[in-house]
Structure 1
Amino acid sequence: MTNLTRTNFQAHPFHLVSPSPWPIFTCFSLLSSTASGVLSMHAFVSALNFISFALISLVFSACFWFRDIISEATYLGNHTLAVQRGLNMGVALFIVSEALFFLAIFWTFFHSALSPTAELGAHWPPSGIEAVNPFELPLLNTIILLSSGVTVTYSHHSIIQGNRKGALEGLAYTVMLAVIFTALQGIEYLISQFTISDGTFGSIFYFSTGFHGFHVIIGTAFIAVGLWRVLAYHSTENHHLGLESGILYWHFVDIVWLILFISIYYWGS
């Protein structure tokens, strides 16, 4: 008597993910970092230690989560064309939400700068504030960030054409330029003549440039992971969705910086 084995065939092209602990761990890490951050602002004892623990937990949870996603995409073949379209739409909507976030920042800036109140000296920048010279470090950072946009675009075209060496070189130069940009941004903060507590001007300046810098750090990690995956032969000319998403995110960071430079650094000074 023949033993027949029954195989279950999936009748749709979508990926039904397996249960995973990493989303809930990431949520608890984010909750812990937010709560400990608020407690540290109110001078609670040892609150900063909890922030460090929460951030370490967040990094580890995210890394394991991304590891599983890479396995599903590269080794298990779960990212079909339908799944890739959904992920592309998700990345696009995420970038739209980030654009609206920065729109709120620019709205606040122009609301204060176009009609400064008497408390600000009725002009912008407010009385007693020496703004950052836009033609020194900010201009250099602009050149560096735009150059990184060129190198990452070169990398994208190289991988589409099957030029692995060009893709690796472009990504390596992009990561290097991003690290230089972040270092120069830190130097700019150290030598600035005002702080975040110096009224509306200081709050808007550090909030906008600081969050942009945070996005640069996230984008650098994104591109660095893409570089590692090209090195590991995960990305091909026909399947490089993660790298493509990182490149799209990096172009968004470039555009936001251009608006920041023109409005806050140049016009606002």
Structure 2
Amino acid sequence: MKNEYEKYYVPAQSPWPIIGAVGLFFIAVGSGLSIMQMGKEASSGVYLLLAGIAVIIYMLFGWFKNVIDESMSGLYSKQLDISFRQGMAWFILSEVMFFFAFFGALFYARMLSVPWLGGADNNAMTHEVLWNGFEAVWPLLTTPSGETTQAMGWQGLPLINTLILLTSSVTVHFAHVALEKNKRAQLKIFMVLTVLLGVGFLTLQVEEYIHAYQELGLTLESGIYGNTFFMLTGFHGLHVTLGTIMLFVVMLRIFKGHLSANNHFAFLAAAWYWHFVDVVWLCLFMFVYVI
């Protein structure tokens, strides 16, 4: 019996990876300059940061369009679908390690650095060498310059955002069930709800940052506590933004009649990523806000 082989589509060289790299470079440099130029008007770092974000969004929609066109043209096979799944799994794993590094920085500061500076393990580097009134407690609400800040509580906006993300995980699951059962009306409703919940989370996070800066005095200049707070919540916010864009694109495809019960990896990829973002937020909520 003659073996049958599936075709394996190899796309032409794409400009999107290098465009994405340029966008990430702008974001990295722009973020650094923004911090260095904090407090100055018309910061060039802010403009570079916004330009990088715009380039990344342009890259995402352009790359998604190419992949969608190839998929709808019937160029993909079952073998390529397996490659997509493996690629998405490795991508999420790399994101897990990304957040491990930042949580590691938080735990290092809380569990090792601060106690050590307070004289733990017979260390001579005590508060007497640092500044008057130094206490080895977390969060550190006083900076070496003597400025004070307030900690962000877990009640209010952080708790509401936690409930929003947990609800969005439920709605995207129900959307998946509806897709597999070919219930298109329910699928559309749950996808719209999920996207709206993602937008709602980001909106409330902006309000939280405004509250932190204007009312709590909690800024990027608020020592190690402010640094780790904005680093973790900010990078998570970027991931929520990416996940919301992915879900939005999938929602548009669903309204155009794309995806079926037997062929919907685009939906699965966005759902996997969204569940990952939710789990990260639960860890962040516990270790940054509550504990």
Distance 2:233 2:93 in 1: 19
Shift of 1:107: 1.2
Shift of 1:134: 0.8
Kindly tell me: are residues 159 and 92 of structure 1, through their superposed partners in 2, closer, same or farther at Cα, counting changes over 3 Å?
same
Deviations 1:116-141 (A, max 9, x none): 23356211111444211212211111
Task: Please give the residue correspondences for 1:118-267 in structure 2 after superposition, counting only pairs within 5 Å.
Answer: 118=118, 121-128=135-142, 129-192=149-212, 193=216, 194-267=218-291
Distance 1:169 1:189 in 2: 31
Distance 2:34 2:190 in 1: 41
Q: Structure 1: 5+ residue runs without aligned partners?
A: 1-9
Distance 1:45 1:79 in 2: 46
- Secondary structure in structure 1 of the residue aligned to 2:278: helix
Shift of 1:207: 0.4
Alpha-carbon contact 1:121-1:127 (below 8 Å) kept: no
- Secondary structure in structure 2 of the residue aligned to 1:140: helix
Aligned residue pair count: 257
Flag the structure with more relative contact order, 1 or 2, with Cα contacts below 8 A and sequence separation at least 6.
1
Report the RMSD for the aligned CA atoms in angstroms. 2.3
Distance 1:63 1:191 in 2: 32
Distance 1:136 1:42 in 2: 31
Shift of 1:108: 1.2
Distance 2:153 2:49 in 1: 34
Q: Structure 2: 5+ residue runs without aligned partners?
A: 119-129, 143-148
Shift of 1:25: 3.4
Distance 2:13 2:277 in 1: 33
Alpha-carbon contact 2:26-2:48 (below 8 Å) kept: yes
Deviations 1:32-57 (A, max 9, x none): 44445555656598555454444434
Q: Sequence identity of aligned pairs in percent?
A: 32
Task: Please give the residue correspondences for 1:1-80 in structure 2 after superposition, counting only pairs within 5 Å.
Answer: 12-35=6-29, 37-38=31-32, 46=44, 48-74=46-72, 76-80=73-77
Distance 1:184 1:232 in 2: 30
Paired letter, 1:122: A
Paired letter, 1:90: G
Shift of 1:24: 3.3
1:108 and 2:105 are equivalent in the alignment: yes
TM value normalised by structure 2? 0.81
